[in-house]
Amino acid sequence: DAGVTQSPTHLIKTRGQQVTLRCSPKSGHDTVSWYQQALGQGPQFIFQYYEEEERQRGNFPDRFSGHQFPNYSSELNVNALLLGDSALYLCASSLGTGDNEQFFGPGTRLTVL
């Protein structure tokens, strides 16, 4: 049983560019949450998708957007990249939106130059 997978593993972009990160949830999971983890910090919640809709959003600007597909996989898009967007982006999946355990992927390391 494959766990949560994310692609790509690493990514280097320049300021002003746009990036798309991808996440496939654990088998049987229908909810995907995205987190941003700056170096040496704890993860910060970006948003959560359930039934192809954004259910909740953290304190991130509109440059951060996402999508969930009918197969429950998800994308995170960031426009007009800033140096401060350099971070590890983690995807977590769960079943439903209650207290079920969230399983994390290995993350995508984004570097903005």
Cβ proximity to another protein: between 14 and 52 the closer is 52
DSSP for residue 25: P
Please state the closest distance from residue 106 (CB atom) to another protein, in A: 5
For the CA atoms of the chain, what is the radius of gyration?
13
102 counts as binding another protein under rule CB under 8 A: yes
Structure tokens at 46: 């970006």
What is the C-alpha to C-alpha distance for residues 54 and 67, in angstroms, rounded to an integer?
A: 8
CB atoms within 10 A of CB 72: 21
Site mask for another protein (CB under 8 A), range 43-72, x = bound: xxx--x-x----xx-x--------------
Q: Which of 66, 83, 65 is nearest to 75 (CA)?
A: 66
Nearer to another protein, 18 or 52 (CB): 52
Residue ranges binding another protein (CB under 8 A): 31, 33, 35, 40-45, 48, 50, 55-56, 58, 88, 90, 92, 94, 97-102, 104-107, 109
